[in-house]
Amino acid sequence: MPIESTNPTTGTVVDTFESDSGTDRDDRLERASDTFEGWRETSIEHRQQLLSAAADVLREGRDDYAELMSREMGKPIGQARDEVEKCAWVCDYYAEHAAEFLADEVVAGEPNARTLVTYQPLGPILAIMPWNFPFWQVFRFAAPNLAAGNVGLLKHASNVPGCARAIEAVFREAGFPAGAFQSLLIGSDEVDEVIADDRIAGVTLTGSDGAGRSVAETAGSELKKTVLELGGSDPFVVLEDAPMEHTVETAVQARLINSGQSCIAAKRFIVVDDVYDEFLDRFVEAMDGQVVGDPMDDATDVGPQARADLMDDLHEQVEATLEAGGECRLGGEPMDREGAFYPPTVLTDIPADSPADSEELFGPVASVFRVPDEAAAIEQANDTRFGLGASVWTADLARGERVARQFESGLAFVNELVKSDPRLPFGGVKDSGYGRELARDGVREFVNAKTIWVQREAGEETIQVE
């Protein structure tokens, strides 16, 4: 069955791909399994060299990869170029640090024994990835896992098949074995069968909490390790001493990055009463000044939503919030133009349990809440089933860190928007998932942390292994 990628700016077909048949899928699984047997024995130094080569391939093809993202899912072209560069960065990062993170660790034990922990790869890992950061989400999985000696199989979102195939080609061009990283162009209805396949050792998913529950249930029944990075409704807390100009400028960026389609975008703006009116006035004005347009134009700040049905879902959430008693200060209607364009939107006076209060709004819609003080702001920030990221804005950095420690989230930032960084662990709590990507934590998620005990006879010297 053909898979079409459609340009959300124009509605035209970008490209058509043949989906993998059952035989194709089985062949790729077998190739992954066979490749793993040799790849696991490859020296960490060689794996690092290939990751460095992948970074070079990405940088050489940056403009082409960026344009592909913009065509398939509407990402503004400048952000798409930045995404490619970030993928190269994560490859470089593990090319430099993987050996350190995966080195054996000698730990204290009995005096007549050498005891250590060694980190060994598990096997083929299935990655189920979303469309919103179609290169970055994949590379932040692939780089640490290939460095660890695992091999990867990618089930990408159905609207970015071109990106899936391009990523596979990056690793092939960099010199990785053909089965080290492969793309599966299959439907969502085939995922459970792949997870249950004995050749799959673990599963990672970035997506909705509903998808996460389904994948975790299937993987759990097979006793397979999972890492889940799910949705978020990140609070952006503005205290009375916040540096207002910088706070507003960053608030707009934090809400509208990737046209609002980001798990870690700021979605709930929680502002103390003393500065609420000033923040709201400035925020609405700044949001209104953003350029909505063709993502291939460098002047564009906000491109289309990735698919028309996703825009329709977002608008239904906005309408339901307004019908419940919320107020719309800006935007609130699909734009009257070709393509899936939704404008920057600001909602206030949001009723409890309305969609803008309790659900994730995956698009350029900001929910602004008024609270009396810091304590109420923290309570409001934590009053959600999600727990991915959070930020607080204040002139008092000690106060900011104290507040950050009280957020129920996997990530907490003071005077900075929530973002991923190869050097730092990334992941959430509550309905935002579990497990960590990136940094040392990420490279150790899909490994066997094996304890080795080497006993010596009394009087023998302690064994030393270089």
Residues marked as catalytic: 229, 263
Reading the block at residue 244, the tokens are 């207002």
| End-to-end Cα spacing for the chain | 54
Residues 6+ apart with CB under 8 A from 100: none
3-state secondary structure of 85: helix
406-410: long-range contacts at Cβ-Cβ below 8 A with a sequence spacing of 24 or more?
A: 406/378, 406/382, 407/235, 407/378, 407/381, 407/382, 408/381, 408/382, 409/234, 410/436
Contact assessment for residue 200 and residue 124, using Cβ atoms and an 8 Å cutoff: yes
Alpha helices in 103-159 (DSSP H): 136-148
Instruction: HSE, CB side, 13 Å, CA atoms: give it for residue 306.
Output: 21
Q: How far apart are CA 188 and CA 184, in angstroms?
A: 11
Please provide the DSSP assignment of 343-406 as one string: --EEEESPPTTSHHHHS---SSEEEEEEESSHHHHHHHHH-SSEESEEEEE-S-HHHHHHHHHH
- How far is CA 18 from each of CA 165, 186, 187, rounded to the nearest angstrom? 12, 10, 12
Residues 6+ apart with CB under 8 A from 45: 99
Q: Which of 126, 20, 17 is nearest to 72 (CA)?
A: 17
Reading the block at residue 10, the tokens are 């124009």
- How far is CA 424 from each of CA 55, 140, 168, 229, rounded to the nearest angstrom? 19, 12, 26, 15
Residues 6+ apart with CB under 8 A from 66: 75, 77, 80, 81, 83, 84
| Amino acid at position 451, single letter | T
